[in-house]
């Protein structure tokens, strides 16, 4: 290939690059609109005056933006109580599960012992099971022990799906950390557990935070377990409160959307605060075997 | 491995003793109490006939529930619906995830912002996602019909959630919208780890856009793609909220996935036996899927990287 044809090639490449970039930007913009339109619509509908969404369809420009629906939800529904319940259950279950899962994941990632494969198999298997498939036994046991309509019961129910998931994420992460650091610490006189606490845990912080974040968001998402296990509205988590709007939604679209905005804020806030851990923390080695 | 004798001793000490079990014990106790016990309880109940509201009257029926469920066309129909739903969600969210990841890998203004925002649907609570789309698809007040009318694509409002042909595509769309950002993140990370020198070498060899995609990009992200496919499959297979809130399994049984089927048997019809039988069958089905997954992993290992 001669010199001139190389430079011609480079010039046409630059043109193609520019064109490609322009196309990608246009496509990204279009896709961005499709992806974010539902959020836009939620916020716009939540700002409409009571009952007005029935009168006309809100596609783009709202007539007015107000906080009427928010005030109505806060005054007429125990929204704050539901949010507090959700926070309590979510934080308790996450805080309970994460350290135990960390110990188990450490054991699975560093030791070869009898029953290890069975454990790995079981942990993956339980993640495939719908929450509804353990509802009957949980319901019966909780009824026998007075845990129905009880936030402690809801917390325990959340642990059933959080524990396998958290072990799985942490196992994947710990596998990606070489054991050499711990071994050096042990050569220097640390006990095995001491090496784990002083060497492995600090290195694994991004993974631990990511697993905790997943657990938090999963709990915040939960709906059917709480639905089947609680009956009185003062024990509801926020997703149950949202679901109740379905029954009255033809008259209360604005309130339903206002409540949706309020229910999203805590989850989004936690997510935004911790999301820098997400990329590094999700080694996902676990899934690669 | 170049292990020193000291290290080797340290390593051999790892494999001995009760420590692995001690570390595992707390989590294992919890799992036994809140996961294993309910499952075994459920398996036991599958051999009985009972009403959830009157559990004092239980009659042992042996394998009758299994015979009933396995010969019930509703079960096979629900299994088929679950497969449709899972495959649809996995395909659509993977397409969206791959497409957005490829785009976000090209340099353009505000790319950083776009990368940060793309994950937002995933951080939105499931029920909020479901409610927004539920209202958006409403035939009277929803904006989707309004937009389609303005574009001249439809003349009268379509009752998306109540038609046999549209209910399943709609819940697949909503679920994929919520799930695809994890695929974007994972695939984007894999794309960034592909060495630019590979692309330069390919260009020198005269490879076009398609050639680079096929011979460098796709092989470079195949392992990660597999991981994200597994993740989305796990999420979609067991998902309850969307099918329940948007369509309640309907119209008819068009969207009655297995998680909804199990729930309705138990908490709508109070039939403990069939519901527990379904739960046990789901357990067996899941075990089969995990075995298939392990096989796939082992098969993948023999292939060259």
At B302, the pLDDT band (50, 70, 90 cuts) reads very low
Q: Are A264 and B125 in contact (CB under 8 A)?
A: yes
Instruction: Provide the pLDDT for residue B55.
Output: 80
Q: Do both A169 and A109 map to the same domain?
A: yes
Q: Which chain A positions have a beta carbon within 8 Å of B223's beta carbon?
A: 288
CB atoms within 10 A of CB B219: 12
Instruction: Provide the pLDDT for residue B5.
Output: 52
CATH of the domain at A213: 1.10.3720.10
Instruction: Provide the pLDDT for residue A102.
Output: 95
Q: Which chain A positions have a beta carbon within 8 Å of B107's beta carbon?
A: 21
Give the total number of structural domains in chain A. 2
Q: Of A196-200, A231-235, B81-85, which has the strongest mean pLDDT?
A: B81-85
Q: Do both A61 and A87 map to the same domain?
A: no
Burial of A122 (0-12, 13-18, 19+ CB in 10 A): buried
Instruction: Provide the pLDDT for residue A7.
Output: 58
Q: Chain A within 8 Å of B27 (Cβ-Cβ)?
A: yes
Instruction: Provide the pLDDT for residue A288.
Output: 43
Average pLDDT in the B145-164 region?
86
Mean model confidence pLDDT for chain A: 83
At A195, the pLDDT band (50, 70, 90 cuts) reads confident
Q: Which residue of B has its CA nearest to A281?
A: B186
Instruction: Provide the pLDDT for residue A1.
Output: 44
Q: Do both A85 and A140 map to the same domain?
A: yes
Tokens, residue B203:
């260009």
Q: Do both A47 and A79 map to the same domain?
A: no
Q: Do B290 and A278 touch (CB under 8 A)?
A: no
* From A136, A249, A279, residue closest to B266, measured CB to CB: A136
Domain closes at, from A23, A46, A66: A66
* CA angle in degrees (0–180, nearest 5) for B294-B297-B298: 90
Q: Do both A257 and A168 map to the same domain?
A: yes
Average pLDDT in the A21-29 region?
81
Instruction: Provide the pLDDT for residue A12.
Output: 66
Average pLDDT in the A173-197 region?
83
Q: Do both A147 and A77 map to the same domain?
A: yes
Q: Which chain A positions have a beta carbon within 8 Å of B289's beta carbon?
A: 128
Tokens, residue A136:
């009957």
A61-94 pLDDT per residue, tens: 566 678 888 998 899 889 999 999 999 999 999 9
Instruction: Provide the pLDDT for residue B2.
Output: 45
* From B245, B263, B286, residue closest to A135, measured CB to CB: B263
Q: Which residues constitute the domain of residue A84?
A: 70-288
Of B129, B133, B179, nearest in space to B160 by CA? B133
**B140-169 residues touching A, CB cutoff 8 A:** 141-143, 145-147, 150
Q: Which chain B positions have a beta carbon within 8 Å of A159's beta carbon?
A: 30, 34
Q: Chain A within 8 Å of B55 (Cβ-Cβ)?
A: yes
Q: Which chain A positions have a beta carbon within 8 Å of B241's beta carbon?
A: 221, 223-224
Q: Do both A176 and A110 map to the same domain?
A: yes
Q: Which chain B positions have a beta carbon within 8 Å of A141's beta carbon?
A: 37-38, 41
Q: Which residue of B has its CA nearest to A181?
A: B7
- Rounded Cα–Cα distance for residues A166 and A157 (Å): 15
- Rounded Cα–Cα distance for residues B43 and A137 (Å): 10
For B211, residues 6+ apart whose C-beta sits below 8 A from its C-beta are: B202
Q: Do A107 and B20 touch (CB under 8 A)?
A: yes
Q: Which chain A positions have a beta carbon within 8 Å of B10's beta carbon?
A: 183, 186-187
Q: Which residue of B has its CA nearest to A220?
A: B125
Q: Do both A21 and A87 map to the same domain?
A: no
- What's the gap in Å between the CA of B125 and the closest CA on chain A? 5
Q: Do both A62 and A104 map to the same domain?
A: no
List b or e across B131-145, with b for residues whose CB sees 16 or more CB atoms inside 10 angstroms.
Answer: bbbbbbbbeebbbbb
Residue B181 has pLDDT above 50, yes or no: yes
A28-44 pLDDT per residue, tens: 888 888 888 999 888 88
Share of chain A above pLDDT 90, in %: 26
Q: What is the DSSP letter of A133?
A: G
Share of chain A above pLDDT 70, in %: 85
For A39, phi then psi, to 5°, come to -65, -45
Tokens, residue A259:
């409540």
Q: Are A169 and A286 in contact (CB under 8 A)?
A: yes
A160-174 pLDDT per residue, tens: 889 998 998 898 888
For B54, phi then psi, to 5°, come to -145, 75
* CA angle in degrees (0–180, nearest 5) for B125-A280-B187: 75
- Rounded Cα–Cα distance for residues A158 and A142 (Å): 13
Greater confidence (A100 vs B117) lies with A100
Q: Of A46-50, A53-57, B50-54, B262-266, which has the strongest mean pLDDT?
A: B262-266
Greater confidence (B35 vs B176) lies with B176
- What's the gap in Å between the CA of A122 and the closest CA on chain B? 8
Residue A2 has pLDDT above 50, yes or no: no
> What is the three-state SS of chain B?
CCCCHHHHHHHHHHCCCCHHHHHHHHHHHHHHHHHHHHHHHHHHHCCEEEECCEEEEEEECCCHHHHHHHCCHHHHHHHHHHHHHHHHHHHHHHHHHHHHHHHHCCCCCCHHHHHHHCCHHHHCCHHHHHHHHHHHCCCCCCHHHHHHHHCCCCCCCCCHHHCHHHHHHHHHHHHHHHHHHHHHHHHHHHHHCCCHHHHHHHHHCCCCHHHHHHHHHHHHHHHHHHHHHHHHHHHHHHCCHHHHHHHCCCCCCCCCCHHHHHHHHHHCCCEHHHHHHHHHHHHHHHHHHHHHHHHHHHHHHHCCC
Q: Which chain B positions have a beta carbon within 8 Å of A125's beta carbon?
A: 283, 286-287, 290
Q: What is the DSSP letter of B215?
A: I
- What's the gap in Å between the CA of A69 and the closest CA on chain B? 16
Number of cross-chain residue pairs from A and B with Cβ atoms under 8 Å apart: 272
CB atoms within 10 A of CB B288: 12
Instruction: Provide the pLDDT for residue A64.
Output: 66
Q: Do both A86 and A112 map to the same domain?
A: yes
At B213, the pLDDT band (50, 70, 90 cuts) reads confident
Helix (H, G, I), strand (E, B) or coil at A247: helix
CB atoms within 10 A of CB B109: 9
Longest dimension (CA), chain B: 80
* From A110, A133, A160, residue closest to B14, measured CB to CB: A110
Q: Do both A173 and A218 map to the same domain?
A: yes
Helix axes A116-128, B218-238, angle to 10 degrees: 70
Greater confidence (B284 vs A1) lies with B284
Q: Do both A11 and A53 map to the same domain?
A: yes
* From B30, B227, B241, residue closest to A223, measured CB to CB: B241
Instruction: Provide the pLDDT for residue B226.
Output: 86
Task: Write down the H helix ranges in chain A.
Answer: 3-46, 52-55, 68-76, 79-110, 116-128, 135-144, 151-175, 180-187, 192-195, 201-203, 205-221, 224-229, 238-248, 253-274, 276-281
- Rounded Cα–Cα distance for residues B103 and A23 (Å): 10
Q: Do B241 and A101 touch (CB under 8 A)?
A: no
Through-space distance between the first and last CA atoms of chain B, rounded to whole angstroms: 21
- On the CB side of A133, how many CA atoms lie within 13 Å of its CA? 29
Instruction: Provide the pLDDT for residue A196.
Output: 86
The reply to whether omega before B251 is within 30° of 0 (cis) is yes
Q: Do A242 and B131 touch (CB under 8 A)?
A: yes
Q: Which residue of A has its CA nearest to B104?
A: A28
Residue A256 has pLDDT above 50, yes or no: yes
Q: Chain A within 8 Å of B58 (Cβ-Cβ)?
A: no
Q: State which CATH number among 3.40.30.10, 1.10.3720.10, 3.30.2020.30, 1.20.1050.10 fits the domain covering B87-255.
A: 1.10.3720.10
Q: Which chain A positions have a beta carbon within 8 Å of B13's beta carbon?
A: 186, 192
* From A35, A107, A242, residue closest to B127, measured CB to CB: A242
**B196-255 residues touching A, CB cutoff 8 A:** 203, 209, 223, 227, 230-231, 234, 237-241, 244-245
Of B15, B106, B274, nearest in space to A24 by CA? B106
Residue B145 has pLDDT above 90, yes or no: no
Q: What is the DSSP letter of B217?
A: I
Q: Which residue has the tokens 């290195």?
A: A203
Q: Which chain B positions have a beta carbon within 8 Å of A113's beta carbon?
A: 15, 20-21
Q: Do B37 and A289 touch (CB under 8 A)?
A: no
Lowest mean pLDDT across A243-252, B87-96, B216-225: A243-252
Domain closes at, from A11, A31, A66: A66
Q: Which chain B positions have a beta carbon within 8 Å of A279's beta carbon?
A: 185, 189
Domain closes at, from A66, A93, A119: A66
Residue A286 has pLDDT above 50, yes or no: no
Q: Do A125 and B142 touch (CB under 8 A)?
A: no
A91-104 pLDDT per residue, tens: 999 999 999 999 99
């Amino acid at each position: 290939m001669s010199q001139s044809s190389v430079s011609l090639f480079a010039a046409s490449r630059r043109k193609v690059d520019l064109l490609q970039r322009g196309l990608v930007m246009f496509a990204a913009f279009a896709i961005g609109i499709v992806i974010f339109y539902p959020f836009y619509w939620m916020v716009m509908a939540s700002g409409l005056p009571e009952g007005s969404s029935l009168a006309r369809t809100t596609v783009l420009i709202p007539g007015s933006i107000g906080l009427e629906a928010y005030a109505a939800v806060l005054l007429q529904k125990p929204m704050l109580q539901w949010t507090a319940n959700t926070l309590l259950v979510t934080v308790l279950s996450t805080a309970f599960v994460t350290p135990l899962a960390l110990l188990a994941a450490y054991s699975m990632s560093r030791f070869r012992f009898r029953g290890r494969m069975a454990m790995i198999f079981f942990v993956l298997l339980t993640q495939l099971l719908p929450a509804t498939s353990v509802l009957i036994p949980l319901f019966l046991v909780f009824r026998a022990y007075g845990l129905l309509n009880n936030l402690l019961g809801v917390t325990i129910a959340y642990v059933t799906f959080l524990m396998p998931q958290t072990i799985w994420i942490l196992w994947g992460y710990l596998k990606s950390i070489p054991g050499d650091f711990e071994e050096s610490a042990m050569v220097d006189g640390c006990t095995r557990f001491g090496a784990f606490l002083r060497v492995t845990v600090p290195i694994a912080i991004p993974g631990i935070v990511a697993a905790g974040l997943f657990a938090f968001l999963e709990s915040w998402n939960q709906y059917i377990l709480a639905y089947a296990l609680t009956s009185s509205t003062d024990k509801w988590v926020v997703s149950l409160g949202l679901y109740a709007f379905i029954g009255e939604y033809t008259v209360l679209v604005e309130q339903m959307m206002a409540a949706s905005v309020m229910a999203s804020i805590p989850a989004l806030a936690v997510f935004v605060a911790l999301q820098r851990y997400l990329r590094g923390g999700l080694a996902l080695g676990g899934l690669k075997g | 491995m170049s292990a020193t004798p000291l290290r080797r001793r340290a390593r051999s000490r790892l494999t001995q003793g009760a420590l692995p079990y001690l570390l595992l014990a707390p989590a294992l106790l919890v799992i036994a109490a809140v996961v294993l016990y309910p499952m075994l309880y459920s398996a036991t109940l599958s051999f009985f006939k009972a009403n959830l509201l009157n559990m004092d009257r239980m009659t042992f029926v042996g394998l009758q529930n299994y015979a009933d469920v396995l010969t019930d066309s509703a079960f096979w129909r629900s299994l088929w619906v679950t497969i449709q739903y899972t495959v649809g969600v996995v395909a659509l969210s993977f397409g969206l995830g791959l497409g957005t990841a490829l785009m976000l890998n090209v340099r353009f203004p505000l790319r950083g912002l776009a990368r940060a925002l793309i994950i937002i649907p995933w951080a939105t609570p499931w029920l909020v996602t479901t409610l927004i789309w539920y209202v958006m698809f409403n035939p009277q007040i929803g904006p989707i019909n309004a937009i389609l009318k303005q574009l001249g694509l439809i003349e009268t409002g379509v009752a998306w959630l109540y038609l046999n042909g549209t209910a399943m595509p709609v819940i697949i769309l909503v679920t994929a919208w919520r799930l695809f950002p994890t695929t974007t993140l994972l695939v984007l990370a894999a794309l960034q780890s592909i060495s630019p020198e590979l692309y330069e070498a390919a260009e020198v060899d005269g490879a076009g856009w398609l050639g680079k995609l096929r011979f460098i990009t796709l092989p470079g992200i195949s392992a990660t793609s597999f991981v994200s496919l597994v993740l989305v499959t796990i999420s979609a297979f067991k998902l309850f909220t969307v099918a329940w809130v948007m369509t309640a399994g309907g119209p008819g049984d068009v969207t009655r996935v297995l998680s909804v089927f199990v729930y309705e048997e138990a908490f709508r019809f109070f039939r403990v036996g069939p519901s527990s039988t379904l739960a046990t069958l789901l357990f067996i089905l899941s075990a089969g899927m995990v075995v298939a997954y392990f096989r796939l992993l082992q098969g993948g290992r023999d292939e060259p990287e």
